[in-house]
Amino acid sequence: MRAAEEKLFSTGVDSFKLMQQAGNAVAEFVHANWPEGRIQVLCGPGGNGGDGFVAAAALAKLWRDVDVYCLVPAEKLEGDSAKAAAEWGDEIKPLEAALDAPHDIVLDALFGGGLSRPLEGAAEKLAARGGRVISIDVPSGIHGELAKPLGACFRAEGTITFAALRPAHVLMPSAAYCGGVFVADIGVPVQTSLLENSPLLWGRRLPQPGQGSHKHARGHLAVVSGNIISTGAARLAGRAGLRAGAGLVTMLSPPDAIAVNASHLTAVMLKEVADAEQLRAAIESASVVILGPAAGINTSTRENVECLLSSNCRAVLDADALTVFSDDPGAFFKQLRPDDLITPHIGEFNRLFGDLLETEPNKVEATRKAAQLAGCVVLLKGPDTVIARPDGPAIVNTHATRWLATAGSGDVLAGIAGGLIAQGVDTFTAAAMASWLHGEAGRRIGAGLIAEDLEAELPDILSSLHGEHL
Ligand SMILES: NC(=O)C1=CN([C@@H]2O[C@H](COP(=O)(O)OP(=O)(O)OC[C@H]3O[C@@H](n4cnc5c(N)ncnc54)[C@H](OP(=O)(O)O)[C@@H]3O)[C@@H](O)[C@H]2O)[C@@H](O)CC1
Ligand SMILES: Nc1ncnc2c1ncn2[C@@H]1O[C@H](COP(=O)(O)OP(=O)(O)O)[C@@H](O)[C@H]1O
Ligand SMILES: [K+]
């Protein structure tokens, strides 16, 4: 957002006008969603405070009961913020006075994108006070780019930001402090490459069979099974792939696990595959292959991945298929193609990409960089799942639940993604669809969730999405 603003200012756009638009949008947001109560507006020394003064003036015009406090004396304010304080034109009390003053709602306009150090003094005490807070841009105390609090931090019921979402609004831990986030258009022509996952992004592209369709027209997904004692993960993925709509799913099983798989599979077909050579022949009729869940960290998994990446099938690689390349990620990256998907959790991510999560400012940037390095779509799992394409666009999925933190849940996610890719959905979109569907399934189940439960939620979820978009 900063870059877009700077570009705009250099072409002569009036920055005070932008602040007025921002402050007025804040007043509308507050009045519409918190229509009653006495409002304490806490202003900082910079642009965030400026938005606060404009909002206070606009709220007063709406007959709202408003008290304004500022971290610095009004005469110390400069530039647009000084003009905004003049627009308020009424009493500005010192920030400390807010601590004991009667109020119902707090409008937090202390710091936004310019926070440079932890809150201290009255600001720190106000952050710790709690209560009903609405924040402008980000809750004060959150570092916008690092997407985390620097120390004490306001916890908002709602946050209004401008032009586009930023990582702090969707990544953990900062997202948990933002409450509901509203993005106001203030005329800054932002071409954002960060989106929050929602069916609004892809609902109309969710695949469904036409009236005259048949199973072969709905895509063929293959899943590679682990050995005799590690077959469950691949079955979770395979069944989820069928639920997601793939017309055919074939389990490719090592000889020692054939009997186990055969005794557990019904609609999913089964084929014996002893080595990479046989894998090549077995995946000829498939359009996408899932490889990695409980595959084993051994040379045979590595050979299978290399075989898959030299075939015409798209690859969804998870778990062991990633870990087998820990000693030489570069060799792996050379083989990956833009339409392949890798789905690491943080541990697997670190094994492939080293300290990117520490060196990049936040998880979105780290995942973007990873996608660029790997040359494929990367889905980094967690409470906030980030999906990035090698050319930059990123989607963050916050639609999930902590009950998904259970063994095998990631295998189901890979299965849903594979099932969607098999039906012709592009990999990046399929990854976004899959993480939302997976999150929704988890939310519907909640406490007591085990990975086996997830796929059974999909028919209802998919039906309601199709119903909405028919
Ligand atoms: N640009 C535009 O036109 C638009 C911008 N918009 C709005 O402007 C906001 C960005 O404004 P901004 O850049 O002035 O930063 P902001 O967060 O207000 O504060 C920086 C000031 O705080 C100070 N400071 C920092 N940390 C501190 C601490 N812990 N304790 C004490 N002081 C501390 C810091 O001092 P310094 O670090 O320099 O010592 C500096 O003086 C943005 O979030 C949005 O709300 C909208 O109106 C849309 C149009
Ligand atoms: N606290 C959490 N909140 C929301 N989703 C979570 C949380 N913890 C894990 N998940 C999700 O659960 C899945 C776990 O996947 P993974 O770690 O690969 O498990 P497994 O390897 O056992 O299948 C991922 O999709 C992840 O995003
Ligand atoms: K703020």
Report ipTM (2 d.p.).
Answer: 0.94
Q: Could you give the 3-state DSSP secondary structure of residue 310?
A: coil
Find out whether the beta carbon of 379 lies less than 6 Å from any atom of ligand 2: no
Helices 451-469 and 427-445, packing angle to 10 deg:
110
Taking a C-beta distance cutoff of 8 angstroms, is the pair 437, 461 a contact?
A: yes
Q: What is the pTM of this model?
A: 0.92
| ∠ CA 182-187-192, rounded to 5° | 65
Taking the centre of ligand 1 as the mean of its atom positions, its distance from the CA of residue 110, in whole angstroms, is: 8
Please say whether the dihedral angle defined by the alpha carbons of residues 194, 172, 49 and 55, taken in this order, is positive or negative. positive
Q: Whose alpha carbon is nearest atom 37 of ligand 1?
A: 116
Which tokens belong to 366? Answer: 């780290």
Taking the centre of ligand 2 as the mean of its atom positions, its distance from the CA of residue 381, in whole angstroms, is: 6
CATH code of domain 200-469: 3.40.1190.20
Taking the centre of ligand 3 as the mean of its atom positions, its distance from the CA of residue 107, in whole angstroms, is: 8
Domain range list for the chain:
15-191, 200-469
Taking a C-beta distance cutoff of 8 angstroms, is the pair 377, 387 a contact?
A: yes
Number of neighbouring beta carbons within 10 Å of residue 321: 29
Find out whether the beta carbon of 158 lies less than 6 Å from any atom of ligand 2: no
What CA–CA distance (Å, rounded) separates 428 from 450?
A: 27
pLDDT means over runs of 10, the chain (470 residues): 59 88 98 98 98 98 98 97 97 98 98 97 97 98 96 98 93 96 89 88 94 92 98 98 98 98 97 98 98 98 98 98 98 98 98 98 97 98 97 96 98 98 98 98 98 97 80
Ligand closest to the CA atom of residue 107: 3
Residue that has been written with the tokens 């939302």 in this structure = 436
List binding-site positions for (6S)-NADPHX. Answer: 47-51, 112-118, 137, 233, 345, 411
Q: What is the pLDDT of residue 470?
A: 43
Taking the centre of ligand 2 as the mean of its atom positions, its distance from the CA of residue 405, in whole angstroms, is: 5
Q: What is the pLDDT of residue 228?
A: 97
Taking the centre of ligand 2 as the mean of its atom positions, its distance from the CA of residue 410, in whole angstroms, is: 6
Q: What is the pLDDT of residue 468?
A: 53
What is the residue type of 415? G
The domain covering 15-191 belongs, at the CATH homologous superfamily level, to YjeF N-terminal domain (3.40.50.10260)
Q: Could you give the 3-state DSSP secondary structure of residue 148?
A: strand
Q: What is the pLDDT of residue 11?
A: 66
What CA–CA distance (Å, rounded) separates 294 from 320?
A: 6
Decide: residue 227, CB within 10 A, 0-12 exposed, 13-18 middle, 19+ buried: middle
Q: What is the pLDDT of residue 469?
A: 44
Ligand 1 lining (C-beta closer than 6 Å): 5, 15, 18-19, 22, 44-49, 51, 111-119, 136-137, 162, 186
Taking a C-beta distance cutoff of 8 angstroms, is the pair 416, 437 a contact?
A: yes
| ∠ CA 19-21-25, rounded to 5° | 115
List binding-site positions for AMP. Answer: 381-385, 410
Whether the ω angle into residue 173 lies within 30 degrees of 0, i.e. cis, is: yes
